[in-house]
Structure formats: C-alpha cells, structure tokens
Amino acid sequence: MGLASSYSDRLHLTPPRVGVGVFVVQQGRVLLGRRRGAHGAGTWGLPGGHLEHGESIEACARREVLEETGLEVAEVRLGPYTSDVFPEGRHYVTLFAVTRPTGGVLTVREPQKCERWDWFVWEALPDPLFLPLRSVRDAGFDPTR
C-alpha cells in the first residue's frame, strides 16, 4: 500500500461541499439555532447553507438568513473559513460571514431544520456546537469585534 493506492482509495469519496455560515450579530450577541435533521441534529449552529453555483458568498449569506430566520441583514463582511470532516465522513469547507439584522421578524421558517433561534453572548455559547462553529470559535475568531 503505497501513496498511489492511498490516492486511488480516496477517489471514490465525495468531494468537499462549500457551506456558508452567517454570524448575525446584534447588541454584542450572536444568533444561533438548535439544529434538527440528520446533519448536526441537536447542535447549535449559525444560519447558513450551501453556496449555490455562481452565487457570491455575500448573496448566499443574505439569502440563507432570510430563508431560515425571516431577518433582513445589512452589509455582509467576509470572515474566516474552516475545513471540517464530520464523523459520518462528510467534508465541508465553511466560509463565514458577519452581518447585523436591519429588518424582518425573527421566526423559525424551516422547522424541519431548526427547532428554535436564540441570541447568545459569544463568551457563553451553548453546547454542543455544530462542528464548523466549534472549529472557528476554537481558532480564536470573535464575530462581535
């Protein structure tokens, strides 16, 4: 088993997906949702989703926040990224963005994917966190600064 066989063994794996996680920050607090469904169920995560073909990160951030929370957001600032392999084998590169709400009413608009939304102080996030959010926090990023 050399390098060549190791490479060929990986060829059958699904390529990484690109996700966008959005830090919606208001009065020093970050919006998190308790996830439902197979991918990350029971963990707390940011609004966000998959980057669509030809879509900018900023447009994806605005779209996902509105679709999931009912909130309209201000200017979107790009943040860091993470590369995470989940226990079930899915590999995601997550691009983070930071924004603030400018309108709308906070609502659970996709109840099959999110149990509820809540605001948290960055220094006191709930457990367990969705893997990309945990990774970016552990790397020292603070979206409230």
Q: What's the CA gap between 121 and 85, in Å, rounded?
A: 27
Write down the pTM of the prediction. Answer: 0.91
User: Which one, of 79, 93, 110, 98, lies nearest residue 50 by Cα?
Assistant: 93
At residue 134, φ and ψ (nearest 5 deg) are -60, -45
User: Which one, of 57, 58, 29, lies nearest residue 144 by Cα?
Assistant: 29
Handedness of CA 63, 56, 31, 19 (dihedral sign): positive
Q: Domain boundaries in the chain?
A: 14-138
* pLDDT by 10s per residue, the chain, length 145: 444 445 445 545 789 999 999 999 999 999 999 999 878 999 999 999 999 999 999 999 999 999 999 999 999 999 999 999 999 899 999 999 999 999 999 999 999 999 999 999 999 999 999 999 999 999 999 999 9
Determine whether domain 14-138 maps to CATH 3.40.50.2300: no
User: Which one, of 93, 82, 106, 77, lies nearest residue 17 by Cα?
Assistant: 93
